[in-house]
Every structure is written in structure tokens, then in C-alpha cells.
A and B are shown apart, each in its own frame.
Chain A
Amino acid sequence: MSAILDIQDVTVEYSTGGTIVRALDGASLAVRAGETVGLVGESGSGKSTLGSLVGRLLPGNARYPEGRVLVDGHDVLQLGVKELRGLRREQLGFIPQDPISALDPTMRIGRQLELALRGLPNDRAALLGHLERVRMREPERVLRLFPHEISGGMAQRIVIAMTMARSPRILIADEPTAALDSNVRSEVTKLVFGLARDAGTTVLWLSHDLRSVGRWCERVAVMYAGRVVEDGPAEQVLGSPTHPYTVALAAADPAGVQPGERIETSSVDVAALAASFRDEEEVVAR
């Protein structure tokens, strides 16, 4: 089985006012078609950079000194503007963290949906069909509303409808439930994975929430300091982690802690542990 997404030893640097910040430092990840992969790691670990990299959607000050990103065999970092646009349109789907700001504030939902579905059937019946597919209540009314008049959960359903309308081959969801109320999180998560399964879409699910990752993803990849440090079946990575950072991350997961219990970790310890692990790696390599 060949990988539909193959990130090979990629380094990404941002240059900001003379200083260079390395966001990815030799990250590698290969995903087979139809897999659901949870990408976990603390803020700044490079999750979002890795996710955006798949569509070459990083800001203009990003540089790619090393590595390749292959989507279905196409080298994303080498594609021309037109091919890249086609790839984003036909093969990739992105779901952002904050759905309301991902919608044009001056345009009614119906019109935005219509524009996003350009090239597909986008008459009224089709629009309503897409809203019903994401289980939107009162779809007729929603079509006439503006983004500031709907809730975060509704906005995320609309973004999901726009994204899944083209049945992308790879879906990159960057903490899609982080900005939502806790009571709609599980619904939205279920919706995304359900639609992805029906369409045969590969899912790259970026999250802090280890519990939902463990529940919905077959595979988990852990990122730390710009690298994928652990990667394997979800129950193995989360159940018996080998990398000290994953151990710390799993222990720090507030969902696994009883109410009133103290969370046993601090990020300083995590950094020290990971650094020692890296030294061991080098020793082994010699």
C-alpha cells in the first residue's frame, strides 16, 4: 500500500525581522489512503505548520530548506500555482479552528456556500442538501443568515459542508472543535469522521484532546519540537507510550485525571526528558 500523503524529512523556517525560527525540524509522516491519523503535541510543536504544509498554505515568510511533501505522488513544494490550486480544490480539504472567522462576514451563508460549490450543482436544492448532510437545523433559514448571526457550532457545520462537498482525498482538521462549546464538540467530531468514512477520505486530525483522538483515530502521531517523535496505532501510543514526551503528555491529559487530582507534569520536565531522549537516540545511531 502506497502512501497518499508522504511527508519526508521536512524542515520549515520562518524568517521574522532578521531572526529565523525553525517550526519543523526534519518531520516525517506517511499516511495511507483512508487512514485516520491524530496528530498531537503541545502548542508550538509544529502541528499546525505540518497541517498547513500539506496544502502549501504557510505564510509568505516560510522557507523550505529541506524535505519533500508528496500528495498522491505530487511534490507539493514544487508545484506551479495552477497545479497547486487544482490540488487544493480537488484533493485537499481544510477545517480551521475558528469557523466564524473562516466565513466572509459581509455575505449571506447561502451565497458563500454557492460560491464554494462553484463547478458542482449549487442550486437551492443542492445547498439545502449539503446543509442537511451536516445535520443543520432549519437549513432554509440558515441560508439567509450572515456569519455574525450564527453560533460557532453552526458555522463549523457550514465549513464542514463546504469542505466535504468535493469529497477531498485528504482532510486536514486543525483543532476543529477547540473554539466550540463542549456540548457540540463530540457531535461535530462524529460528523466529520462519519462524512470522511463515507467518502473514503483520509483524515489528519490535529488536536490537544487525547481522549477524542484515542476514540476516533486509528493511528496517533506525536509531535515535539518540530518532529514526529512517536507514531503508531492509537491504543499503543496512548496506552503504552515509549517516548518520554508522550508519557508526559498522556499523564498531563486532564481527561484522564479524577476531579480534584493534581495533574503530574510541568513543561520544563518534559523538555528535559525529551532532550535526554534525543541524546540517547544519537548514541544508538552511532
Chain B
Amino acid sequence: MRLLHWLPGRLLSAVVVLLGASILIFAAVRSLPGDFAQIVLGPLSNEEQREQLRQSFGFDRSLPEQYLLWLGNAARGDFGLSLASQQPVLDELASRLPVTALLAGMAMLVTIAIGIPLGVYAGTHASTGRGSVAARIVSTIGISFPEFVLGCLVVFLFSRFDLGLSVGAFTSPTADFGRGVVSLLLPALVLSVFCVAATARTTRDAVIGVLVEPHIAASVARGEPKGFIIRHHVLRNALIPVLTLTATITAYLLGGAVIVERVFNVPGIGSYLVLALDRRDYTVIQAGVLLATAVFVIASLLIDVLTGLVDPRVSVAKKGRGA
């Protein structure tokens, strides 16, 4: 009910963000050094051939004209042909999307399943010194360890020693879901280390913050058991900052996927985009980055809605600010 007051405003701002991002993406891609025609046709091509290629892709028109043409087509779901492979970009992205979605989904699942319980435990046992110090050290290491270092370490260990999981043998989840999950286990774990640590720490701080609130003291004074208070009054209140963090984690997973997919040789969106960058494949880069932006914008919107449902004060505040 309250949601209806601010949701239209949020949707509108999401569209504006996407539109702004599309301009930025388009401008950034076009200002990349290196000429597309030169890369595709090689150094031995003559100027006439290159001009012909540029014309066939519409690169001879003005930039605003190119942008509007692209935006119009993109709005209808047509992202054009990959300049390198001559295949529709949408098909190529669609064939790789399930892999990245599964990878990010698995990492998110691990993050929630481990990070939140860990944080709740650390938060409710914060007064007993040693446990809290241990939790701090573990989370600091987890947060500061770069995933390409960790990834390389895991690849080395699992390829050097027989540890039960093989590295580099990828099975597509659309062909065999179970084996696809197994083959993505290591990359997903590497991807989730930072997120688990960040979630655990945020959850811990949130729980500690809620525990000193007067309404918790009131529950204690009513003689409620500790477990009951945590279940009914602490978790829900502590969830709010954790939900906000989830939006950041979504963005991190999208970015981290690029590196982890590369390290583990996973044919997802991330490694596809890196390849496209190498080839100056404008249409693919534009569509891929726009897709990532859209995922992030939608995730943020979803999390805002969820936060509004968990904390009734939030939607009121948003409405007050005029969204």
C-alpha cells in the first residue's frame, strides 16, 4: 500500500539511470583507442576497403545519429550483429547469460547461507572477547584478499594436487544442470569469499546495533529468552543494512565475474565482454555493459522494495524526500 506511493517515482528514476548509462557507455566505447576497421581487416587493408566496412556498419554517420539508431533498436530488443562474429549479439549474450547467472546465483547463495549466520553469531557473542577478535581477523582477510590472487591460488592447488574437483573442465548448465553446478563450484566459492566476509561483518555490526536498542531491553525485561528475542526482534531489524549491502554485492558479483570467469576459463558474460573489448566489438560491449547496468538497477529497485517491506519507516522516509 505504502509502496504505491513511491514505486512509480523509483521506476522513473531507474529508467533515467539506464538512459544516462547508455549515453555514457556509447560515448566510452566510441572513445576507445584503436580503429575497428583496422582491427577487423588487418594492417594490410587499404583505405577504400576500410571505408566500405565503416559504411556497412553505419560508422560514417554522426555520433548522435548512431546513438539514436542504436538506442531505438535496443529498445526493441535488437542489439545488432557482433562485429567480429556477425551473429546477433542478443543470441550470443543469451547463450552465455545462464552460465554467469548460475555463477552469481551460487555465489549469492553461499554469501547468504554463510555470511548472515556467521554475522549473527559474531554479533550475539560480541561481548565474549576471543570469538569477536577471531571473527574480525577472518573478515578482514576475506575482505582484503583480491579474487584474482585467490582464484589463481585455487587453480594452482586444484590442478597440482588431486583434490576432488577439476579446474577448467566446464559443463554447460543448460546441457547438464547438475554437472554444470559442480563445474562452477570453485569459481563460485572464490567469488563469494569477499561477499561472505563483507556480509558477515555488516550483519555483525547491525546485530550489535540492534541489541542495544531500548525495545530489546524491553523484551529482556519481559523475561523473553535470548533465542526468542533474536528470532523475532533482532533479525528483522538487523536485516535492513544487510539488504542495502546486497545491492553492492550484486554489482560486485557482476564485476568479479569478469575476473573469476577469466581465471577459471568459464564461458560466461564476463569472459565474453573481455574478448569483445580485445576485438573492439562495439555492439557486444555496448549491449553487455548495458545489460550489467540493467541488472544492477533492477536489483537495487528490488532491494529498495524489500527494505520497504522489512522496515515500514523506510518507505515513509522515501516518500517524504519526494523520491
Contact = CB atoms under 8 A, between A and B. Distances in A.
Interface of A: 55, 57, 60, 85-90, 92, 94, 96, 98, 101-107, 115-116, 146, 148-149, 159, 162-163
Contacts of A98: 214
Contact of B312 (A57, A103, A115, A148): A148
Contacts of B233: 104, 107
Contacts of B312: 105-106, 146, 148-149
Given A101-B215, A106-B310, A90 B223 contact: yes
Given A96-B214, A101-B215, A148-B313, A106 B223 contact: no
Given A106-B311, A107-B232, 9 more contacts: A88-B220, A94-B218, A94-B222, A96-B218, A96-B221, A102-B215, A102-B218, A105-B313, A107-B233
Interface in B102-132: 127
Nearest to A101: B214
Contact of B237 (A60, A101, A105, A115): A105
Question: Which of B214, B220, B225, B236 has its CB near the most chain A CB atoms (within 10 A)?
Answer: B214
Interface string B2-44: 0000000000000000000000000000000000000000000
Contacts, number: 66
Interface residues of B, number: 21
Given A85-B225, A148-B312, A148-B313, A103 B220 contact: no
B316 A115 contact: no
B47 interface: no
Interface in B292-323: 310-313, 316
A81 B213 CA distance: 21
Interface of B: 127, 213-215, 217-218, 220-225, 232-233, 236-237, 310-313, 316
Contact of A57 (B221, B310, B313, B316): B221
B213 A101 contact: yes
A84 to B, nearest CB: 8
A87 B221 contact: no
Contact of B223 (A86, A102, A148, A149): A86
A89 B214 contact: no
Contacts of B213: 101
A106 B215 CA distance: 11
A159 B218 contact: yes
Contact of B222 (A60, A101, A116, A149): A116
A120 B220 CA distance: 18
A159 B215 CA distance: 11
A89 B236 contact: no
A96 B69 CA distance: 65
24 contacts: A85-B225, A86-B223, A88-B221, A88-B222, A89-B222, A89-B224, A92-B223, A96-B217, A98-B214, A101-B213, A101-B214, A104-B215, A104-B232, A105-B311, A105-B313, A106-B236, A106-B312, A115-B232, A146-B312, A146-B313, A148-B312, A148-B313, A148-B316, A159-B218
Q: Which 10 A-B pairs have the closest CB atoms?
A: A89-B223, A88-B223, A102-B218, A101-B214, A94-B221, A146-B312, A85-B223, A104-B215, A106-B236, A104-B233
A186 B215 CA distance: 24
A87 B237 contact: no
A146 B232 CA distance: 15
A87 B213 CA distance: 22
